[in-house]
Structure 1
Amino acid sequence: MRRVILPHHISDDPAPAGGVLRDFAGRSMGTSWSVRLVAAPTVTVSHLQQGLQQQLDSVVAEMSHWESDSNLGRFNRAPAGSWHDLPPAFFDVLSFALDVARASGGACDPCAGTLVNLWGFGPHGRFDHPDFIAPTLDAIASARAQLAAARKDMQLVPAPARRAFQPGGIELDLSAVAKGYGVDRLAYYLKSQGIDHFVVEVGGELRGAGVKPDGQPLWVALEQVEQGQQGSNDELVLALHGLAVATSGDYRRYFERDGKRYAHTIDPRSGLPISNGLASVTVVHAQCMAADAWSTALTVLGRVDGLALAERQGLAARFVERTIDHGHVTYHEYLSTHLRSMLDE
């Protein structure tokens, strides 16, 4: 069965007369990006390829923990007790990530890069290298204690200063929010170029606006954990009209030891990879940055606590829980009230 999710507000702005679809694509943030837009046949759009790539290059230059010379990389290496002027975009993204950390009780913390690195999901000591050894409980406890101590002293000074204090021991990791912000950045750029009908995507996170030349919305299918997954076979499609969508899942990056799966999503509260039975969480939101961050936070919290927080925050969220009984895998879907209200039933 095909189920449809519709936005609460639909613009009646039509696509350009005689509009045609144009496609652009590239690489950034260790993944691919793509843009499909509608433009009048007389409008020149060839310059957009370079402009779109530059937007993402700017995000990487400021916020990548993979690039040692990024603003984030320099902050992470800075001496204890130092203040740093941050670019406006970096400051805003970090501030938002810290807001989500507070609202989620620390389930998604941009300051927890040390824990991510311990488990081999950062830029060094990777889990897929042959010499990787999973951290001991003592090493995890030590990293958590150091993080807790440093976290108390970290400070941000808002605009116009936009400064951050490195107390020592803070390693920022914005991977739960920067990709979503990159999607938003592409959308803002297209708007600035007079393009109002488009869908943009970075590594599977999407945002759309307007309609196709035939007046139909830009449809996308919500990501499934597995093709033909039992217990959640219904296709769920979203009209990507003024909305963004992001999914966090334990099936994207992980490693296995002694028959146990260790997901790349780390719970900063315990210092351990999540193991709460959630296979994925999808969040639909006006901003992809928010959808990205909240999907991670809700995944860490688990189905019960995550769904409760989604209700309190008014988030449109879909939880897919995996149960295994004697080797038989079943998936169960749970929708927040806000997402359920968007179903066209």
Structure 2
Amino acid sequence: MFNSLILWFFGVLGLIKAQEQLFVLNGSAQGTSYLIRYYATDQKIKKEEIESIFAEVDNSMSLYKPNSLIQQFNKNQQVKVDQHFKTVFGAAQYYHMVTGGYFDATLAPLMRLWSKAVVVPNAQQIQQTRLKTGMQHITLVNGLLKKHAPNIELDLNGIAQGYTVDLLARYLRSKGLKSFLVELGGEIYVQGSKPNGEAFTIALDSPDEDCGDFVPKRVQIASGAITSSGIYRKLRYIEGYKVHHIIDPFKGYPVQNDVLSVTTYAPTAMVADAFDNSLLAMGLEKALAFVAKQRNLEAYFIYRDASGNMKDTASTGFYKIMVRN
């Protein structure tokens, strides 16, 4: 009888597992698209619930919303921040320190200067614009965000999307979900596996230019986040300078190294998000040395070698999650 009960119990478990199905939610948010895939026996999440989370974050840190808290701050209004803002700004300060200044959420004036440029800005223009940047010019005291230099702006997009992905993942867990994938603008968080035990497989982004013998890679992870940053999507040239969205905070110029993209793997999307741009700005040698010293951070790099050939390399831990082709 006891053995029969055990067989019945595991038979029921197998039936429940077999009844799990895939549910998909998708749409537009934060100036990009989102996708949520989860496995459950019935629908646990409504689209309106997901979009209410996006609305909360947007009201706090969106540069698209004219009355968001961050826009009020950038317009020199006194701002008392909410918990979302407090968390992300605190992270921005921390990653600014950890990366030695490569992560900088105040570079919007330099990005605007280069995005509008038709000739290379001269040294005086660069220097004058750099005076409008600097994380040290912004403080958060007792919930009040203050700027201590005129014309300072804050742009938290470098980690706000990663933060949003983590919020969504936390919400899904609160609903009892154990197997899901959350993606927002290419930033991905994964937990669990498919009902058949197969891990989620993620194809890594790679340049759409002539790749030669280069083979795009895939990874499989049981939990954690994958984010990528690259300079090849909107790359243009002005007088021989590569112009793109990754700015060297120390020089004021778009980064001019041979790294084409960086993909990071970390426990949360905000952590992964914080480092992908910073590692790209550091350059390959410095970035690999930096990652080797970090806990819970791995990275994958696509770059051009001295002969102009497209190559890739990764930190030791990243190789462990790669799918062998």
TM bucket by the smaller chain?
0.7 to 0.9
CA gap 1:176/1:231 in 2 versus in 1, 3 angstroms: farther
Whether 2:252 is the aligned partner of 1:275: answer no
Counterpart in the other structure of 1:244: 225
Gaps of 5+ in 2: 1-12
Counterpart in the other structure of 1:32: 33
- Shift of the alpha carbon at 1:227? 7.0
CA distance in 1, matches of 2:255, 2:193: 38
Counterpart in the other structure of 2:172: 190
Counterpart in the other structure of 1:99: 94
Asked if structure 1 preserves the Cα contact closer than 8 Å seen for 2:218 and 2:323, the reply is no
Match of 1:90 among 74, 77, 85: 85
Structure 2 residue identity aligned to 1:196 = K
The secondary structure found in structure 2 opposite 1:147 is: coil
- CA shift digits 1:163-201 (9 cap, x unpaired): 322223220111211111121121111112222211010
CA distance in 2, matches of 1:32, 1:303: 30
CA distance in 1, matches of 2:23, 2:321: 29
Counterpart in the other structure of 1:64: 62
- Shift of the alpha carbon at 1:67? 2.3
- CA shift digits 1:209-267 (9 cap, x unpaired): 1111222111111222237723531x432223211100110012333334643111111
- Shift of the alpha carbon at 1:319? 1.3
Counterpart in the other structure of 1:22: 23
CA distance in 1, matches of 2:198, 2:254: 41
For the aligned residue pairs, the C-alpha RMSD in angstroms reads 2.4
- Shift of the alpha carbon at 1:324? 7.0
- Shift of the alpha carbon at 1:134? 5.8
Counterpart in the other structure of 1:164: 145
Asked if structure 2 preserves the Cα contact closer than 8 Å seen for 1:18 and 1:213, the reply is no
Q: How does 1:88-237 map to 2 (within 5 A)?
A: 88-120=83-115, 135-148=121-134, 151-157=135-141, 161-167=142-148, 168-226=150-208, 229-233=211-215, 235-237=216-218
- CA shift digits 1:289-333 (9 cap, x unpaired): 1111101110011101111111111321011112474xxx41121
CA distance in 1, matches of 2:193, 2:210: 29
Q: How does 1:240-319 map to 2 (within 5 A)?
A: 240-258=221-239, 260-314=241-295, 315-319=297-301
CA gap 1:111/1:16 in 2 versus in 1, 3 angstroms: farther
- CA shift digits 1:126-182 (9 cap, x unpaired): 67xxxx67644322111213435xx4442223xxx3332222322011121111112
Gaps of 5+ in 1: 1-12, 121-125
The percentage of counterpart residues that share the same residue type is 28
Counterpart in the other structure of 1:9: none
Q: What's the TM-score once normalised by structure 2's chain length?
A: 0.87
CA distance in 1, matches of 2:213, 2:252: 31
CA distance in 2, matches of 1:225, 1:188: 32
- CA shift digits 1:99-146 (9 cap, x unpaired): 1111112112012222222222xxxxx67xxxx676443221112134
Structure 1 residue identity aligned to 2:177 = I
Asked if structure 2 preserves the Cα contact closer than 8 Å seen for 1:285 and 1:291, the reply is yes
CA distance in 1, matches of 2:35, 2:320: 30
Higher relative contact order, structure no. (Cα contacts within 8 Å, ≥ 6 residues apart)? 1
Asked if structure 1 preserves the Cα contact closer than 8 Å seen for 2:264 and 2:272, the reply is yes
Structure 1 residue identity aligned to 2:138 = M
The secondary structure found in structure 2 opposite 1:271 is: coil
Bigger helix share = 2
Query: Based on CA coordinates, which of the two structures has the bigger radius of gyration?
Result: 2
- Shift of the alpha carbon at 1:343? 5.0
Counterpart in the other structure of 2:7: none
CA distance in 2, matches of 1:72, 1:16: 45
